[in-house]
């Protein structure tokens, strides 16, 4: 069976394909023990979770050497799929729930990812600097910017100014209004044709 991820990312190496297959096998196993994905949605793992995470890679190709924080990563989304796609970019995954972070760590290890680090706790305790903060529907964009602004580096190395890149659903116009002058909303349906993506968006806000 041809996997949908492979269709949208035809340039994947054999090693990257193996890493994604490992995730497709392991997430359901772990989810039976520790709930990181809604039980009724685990059968849609490839499209609704892994491919959804990879929409960020259609929006931006991170420059080698970039550093990206995944805020509120849960079981490792969107950070781990992005780490497979960008082996020369470092991903730092933060979550307050230790059990979920454990799942992310075990899956990262099984998938052979050496470009990820993990932090259990609050982002306030993180003093590191990053080019981007990514997140999947954790909180409204203005609130997230307030919390993470201190972690965004002033040094520019990507085509896009450093900032927040988040995955959202539904109508986010009101949420984004306070940040309108430095934000962009992208329909994920322009990248992926599956019906799940009809209402899904990427919200990008530059740090300054």
Calpha distance 16→6 (Å, rounded): 10
CB count within 10 Å of CB 109 equals 12
By the 10 Å C-beta count (0-12 exposed, 13-18 middle, 19+ buried), 170 is classed as exposed
Q: Residue 145 in contact with residue 64, Cβ under 8 Å?
A: no
Calpha distance 202→160 (Å, rounded): 14
The pTM score is 0.97
The pLDDT value recorded for residue 1 is: 57
3-state helix, strand, coil in the chain (%, to 5): 45, 20, 35
The pLDDT value recorded for residue 64 is: 98
The pLDDT value recorded for residue 208 is: 85
The pLDDT value recorded for residue 72 is: 96
By the 10 Å C-beta count (0-12 exposed, 13-18 middle, 19+ buried), 98 is classed as exposed
Structure tokens belonging to residue 169: 């659903």
* 14-33 vs 98-110: helix crossing angle, rounded to 10: 150
The pLDDT value recorded for residue 39 is: 84
What are the pLDDT tens digits along the chain (208 aa)?
Answer: 579 999 999 999 999 999 999 999 999 999 999 989 988 889 999 999 999 999 999 999 999 999 999 999 999 999 999 999 999 999 999 999 999 999 999 999 999 999 999 999 999 999 999 999 999 978 999 999 999 999 999 999 999 999 999 999 999 999 999 999 999 999 999 999 999 999 999 999 999 8
């Amino acid at each position: 069976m041809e996997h949908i991820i492979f269709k949208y990312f035809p340039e994947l190496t054999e090693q990257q394909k193996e890493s994604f297959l490992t995730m497709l096998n392991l997430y359901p196993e772990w989810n039976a023990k520790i709930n990181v994905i809604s039980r009724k949605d685990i059968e849609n793992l490839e499209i609704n979770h892994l491919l959804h995470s990879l929409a960020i890679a259609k929006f931006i190709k991170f420059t080698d050497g970039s550093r990206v924080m995944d805020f509120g990563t849960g079981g490792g989304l969107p950070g781990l799929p992005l780490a497979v796609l960008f082996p020369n970019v470092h991903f730092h995954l933060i979550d307050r729930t230790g059990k979920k972070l454990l799942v992310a760590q075990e899956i990262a290890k099984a998938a052979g990812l050496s470009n990820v680090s993990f932090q259990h706790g609050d982002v306030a305790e993180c003093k590191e600097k990053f080019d981007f903060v990514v997140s999947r529907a954790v909180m409204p964009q203005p609130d997230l910017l307030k919390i993470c602004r201190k972690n965004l580096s002033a040094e520019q190395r990507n085509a896009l100014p450093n900032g927040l890149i988040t995955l959202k659903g539904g109508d986010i116009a009101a949420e984004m209004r306070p940040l309108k002058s430095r934000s962009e909303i992208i329909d994920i349906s322009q990248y992926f044709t599956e019906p799940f993506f009809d209402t899904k968006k990427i919200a990008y806000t530059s740090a300054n």
